[in-house]
Amino acid sequence: MTEEVSKADKVVEIPMTVEIPVGPQHPAVHEPILIKVYAEGEYVVKAEAYTGYNHRGVEKLAEKKTFYQDIFLCGRVCGICNTVHADCYVRALEHILNKEPPPRAKYLRTLAMELERLHSHMLILAVTAEIVGFDTLFMHMMRDRELIMKAKEIVTGNRVLADYIMVGGVRRDLNSEKIDKLKKILTKVEPRIRYYWRVFEEDVTLNKRLVEVGRLTPAQVTSHGLLGPVARASGVATDSRYHDAYDAYAEVPFRIVTRKEGDCMARSLVRFEEMQVSLEICRYILNHLPEGEAVPDERRLPRRFPEGEAFTTVEAPRGELTYYVMSKGGVNPYRVKIRTPSYNNIINTVPFYVGHMIADVPAILASYDPCISCMERVVVIDLRKGIRKKVSMRDLAKGEA
């Protein structure tokens, strides 16, 4: 140490901050997103999220297709919850047409969406186990998830992209033989879900990696507009199935699952209990399926739509999904606007990585159950200058588009 430094009145310490890109091919969700974290030592001091790697122009494309073609397009916004997207869009069309589907169709729609919730929750819980190093649990859960995929195939005709919802009803009905098969699958999968639930609650590794990690308070949830299991795990009882009572949810008994801890473990346990609720809903529907027709005659549906607009919501596995559809008359929609729950849950939770260890970042992100492909679909066009440019969600939120 030099004589000048030793005689100084004070010393200014400049900490070294390291920038660590996590992504774009993210280790937690295997989808393209970049979480850029800045760390001092092992702890995050700043975080930024960058999306847009999978822009597909879905909303703009929807304006070029007919109302009916868009049912298939909207069902492909998300590969995991495609029935939920199609249901939300179709109910908007039914509102514009002033058309009500029959009770049996409403029950079958609800059945398909609850099966989708089951396999979606099993998927992200398995991924959570994989991220913290529990690969065996991941493989077992994915194996048993196949039972739910089989049940969805029995109901809709396909394991993944169902194309099941149509204006005025559904495309396939259930007979007594299929109902018996579905009941057997539910009976087989329920003890497996309860077993994995107990593993999450009792396993030492899972508890050390998830408990008190990524905690969100109710005030943070409401001020940042967080949705679905992320909100309910912090004690915020929000659920579109209850508030909007769409399809058969006004008649099917169910409960809203909440916890108070607000951490990664709470978000996992909320999903486990919601799977139990989904099993109860599915059983109720299979035992109380109304009589009557469920599949409408597609040839009788109107080709041209009247002027009108509709705003509809559903409770997707990740939270409230909303669709806004506007018709100016004719065969094509004038506007289709989609807001997915991952848009809120991923963009608005970036500040909450700060203070956690670098190794916690993938686990926290996975606990939000992100779906990246449906998040960013924005292209800004300046009609006065003829300029077409892509704008990040951050600049759009600031009004700098």
DSSP conformation letters of 166-181: ETTEES----HHHHHH
> Range with the lowest mean pLDDT among 36-45, 198-207, 238-247, 371-380?
371-380
* pLDDT band, residue 43 (cuts 50/70/90): confident
Rounded-to-10 torsion of CA 70, 75, 77, 80: 180
Domains, the chain, ranges and CATH?
58-338 (1.10.645.10)
> Range with the lowest mean pLDDT among 17-31, 50-64, 168-182, 279-293?
17-31
Contact predicate 124/345, CB 8 Å: no
pLDDT at 244 over 50: yes
On average, the pLDDT of the chain sits at: 87
Which pLDDT score, from 0 to 100, does residue 54 have? 67
Which pLDDT score, from 0 to 100, does residue 399 have? 44
Ramachandran angles phi, psi of 176, nearest 5°: -65, -35
Q: What is the arithmetic mean of pLDDT over 342-355?
A: 90
**Tokens representing 69?**
């073609």
The fraction of the chain above a pLDDT of 90, given in percent, is 70
As a whole number of angstroms, the distance between CA 21 and CA 360 comes to 14
Q: What is the arithmetic mean of pLDDT over 346-353?
A: 90
The whole model's pTM is what? 0.86
Judged by phi (left if over 0) then psi (alpha if -120 to 50, else beta), residue 266 lies in alpha
pLDDT at 382 over 80: no
pLDDT at 330 over 90: yes
